[in-house]
Amino acid sequence: MGEFGFVRVGAAIPSVRVADCGFNVQKICELLYRAVEQKTQIVAFPELSITAYTCGDLFFQRTLIEESANSIRVLLSMTCELPICFIVGAPVCNNSKLYNCAVVCFGGKILGIVPKEFLPNYSEFYEKRWFQSYHSDNLPSNIIYAGEVVPFGANILFDFCNGKFAVEICEDVWSVIPPSSYHVQAGASLIFNISASDELIGKRQYVKSLLSQQSARCQSAYIYTSAGFGESTTDVVYTGNAYIYENGKLLAESERFQIDEQLIISEIDIELLESERRKNTTFICKPVVDVNKCYEKVEVVFESCGEFNQLLRFVNPAPFIPTANNYDESCDEIFSIQVSGLAKRYIHTGVKSLILGVSGGLDSTLALLVCVKMADKLGLSRRVVCGVTMPGFGTSERTHTNAIRLMELLGIDFRNISIVAACEQHFNDISHDLSVCDITYENTQARERTQILMDLANQMSGIVVGTGDMSELALGWATYNGDHISMYGVNTGVPKTLVRYLVQWVADNQVEEAARGTLYDILDTPVSPELLPKDSRGGMTQFTENLVGPYELHDFFLFYVLRYGFSPCKIYFLANNAFCGNYDKKTILKWLKIFYQRFFSQQFKRSCMPDGVKVGAVNLSPRGDWRMPSDACVKLWLQEIEQIEI
């Protein structure tokens, strides 16, 4: 396994000439050299790429079969010094039967030959005319091919740097139970499929869906390459489709209808796949294969397991944000989950109102929009929602005005209650100097606001709706027994970076036009708790991201800590790839250290956080996704961070 568990793989589509093995080998070799230049470790070529797939009855000719084996021998000689494992397709004779095979080669040797199990017999394919189907539950046998004794069978695991790959051929993945389903149970994390699939209208999307689902179901990488230009077009066209999937996600794909050769490359994250499999209790819950009885393991020894300073694959700097192709659908789904969760709590408790603090910031705005839409969903007057703005020592005119204007435009009940006098009285009660703007000064305001909300909820037969988001919970950026407390938290599953996108989406799609201008201004307002005194012009003096760091970095760290349990070193490596050009390495390392320090030290707040609905793949609920002791030690993680060299 390479550095941080990455292995670089490729899917190649060479130009071919039908039955011209020498030409085909030359083209394969050229692509192999290109792959080596890009530090590719394993690359696959299409089905029957040595002879071309469309030879038809020429597969009955001994001359072609023997030339194919001789060409494999030549190819091995030409590539014996290359540090790359490759898979080519060729017809192979065994016990007087001809099989459509994948030949796995490395270091001038054939490591194994994998025959095709499921042969198509459609109008445009007559493989059963030329080839035999291979079916065996036993260990692969040895055959002599191209002058070598090699394992022959469908059940071969190729073991490389603590990872394993297996091979299936074209139609195999279309079967009811593809061979790859058994291979992954035997330990394979990468599946290579060498194929020759003709082009038909609508077929490409079906194939992509099929491969994505198989990759996701098997929690594996799936590398697929199919025949391209040069195959016979007597009856059909081969357009050169190649795809690299990881756990259902498309990492790279080729362009169709290209005359020139193509090579797509990406890294597969073996650690990510292993993490998914460890957490998925349905994966290999009842193994259907006996690895020792049915599989032969062949070792692939790379001189270097791959060290990549820069990844070819895209590392999303905003992993919580929906992608462009399903943005509207995802935002609608997330917002609907929040609304439905609150609706159930409202109905179950039998209360008459929802109380929440509205500051004019993003979090409280999203919570307010959820409350309003819940009222609409249940056919209630929006007056069941009571928003309370509670200006304190640091409240700016902009946020205060936006809070009041938004509540008016949405048609809810609202209150404007200053906390200044109550806080001054409290400072006097505890003998705190008003001029000392310390943590007591700040948290007094947060707890005073919570007291007001709780008491109003009692007074109005309601519940307090929490506004804090998941990023604040991760960093502990909440006042214990202050804004940390509510009776139901609608944003607890929503990270800070996603809050902004949801408010933007609701503004564009879910509210009356009159309210949009105010929502857009709230979106443009800097994130601030507004707990310190204003400046001479009445503006903010406190900016959250100056204190705890950029939320886009913290949300990135949070995703990989919770979703995959990656080490600090790997998260740092990924962050440098994702934020290259936006943050330098020193800055990323600084905030990564602070993230771990705060994440561990603030678990006690999460251990008693209120109920709140989960909306995505991860959550911090102590009753669900994250069950961590409040007194866990961060030492191991910080030691690893200290060893990182910039």
What are the residue numbers of the active site?
47, 116, 170
Query: Which position has the token pair 């593809």?
Result: 178
Rounded CA gap, 587 and 579, in Å? 11
**Residue 577, amino acid:** N
Rounded CA gap, 282 and 315, in Å? 28
Query: Residue 187 has which token pair?
Result: 């330990």
445, 446, 451, 456: CA torsion to nearest 10: 100
Query: In this structure, are residues 366 and 331 in contact, taking their beta carbons and an 8 Å threshold?
Result: no
Rounded CA gap, 398 and 613, in Å? 31
**Residue 586, amino acid:** K
Query: Residue 629 has which token pair?
Result: 């002791």
Return the exposure string of 479-491: e unless at least 16 CB atoms fall within 10 Å of the residue's CB, then b: beebbbbbbbbbb
Rounded CA gap, 471 and 549, in Å? 11
Rounded CA gap, 624 and 320, in Å? 19
The DSSP code for 611 is P
Question: Residue 123: which residues within 8 A CB-CB, separation 6 or more?
Answer: none
Angle at 635 between CA 556 and CA 476, to 5 degrees: 50
Regarding beta strands 42-44 and 85-94, do their DSSP bridges make them parallel or antiparallel, or are they unpaired?
A: parallel
Question: Residue 270: which residues within 8 A CB-CB, separation 6 or more?
Answer: 1, 5, 6, 7, 162, 163, 189, 190
Query: In this structure, are residues 42 and 9 in contact, taking their beta carbons and an 8 Å threshold?
Result: yes
569, 570, 573, 576: CA torsion to nearest 10: -100
Helix (H) or strand (E) holding 251: strand 249-253
Nearest to 395 by CA among 373, 376, 423: 423
What's 426-494 look like in SS3?
HHHHCCCCCCCCCHHHHHHHHHHHHHHHHHHHHHCCEEEEECCCHHHHHHCCCCCCCCCCCCEECCCCC
Strand residues in 66-176 grouped as ranges (E): 85-94, 97-106, 109-115, 141-145, 148-152, 156-160, 163-169
Strand residues in 345-393 grouped as ranges (E): 353-357, 385-389
Query: In this structure, are residues 194 and 47 in contact, taking their beta carbons and an 8 Å threshold?
Result: yes
Please return the burial class of 307, using the count of CB atoms within 10 Å of its CB with bins 0-12, 13-18 and 19+: exposed
* 266: number of Cβ within 10 Å: 25
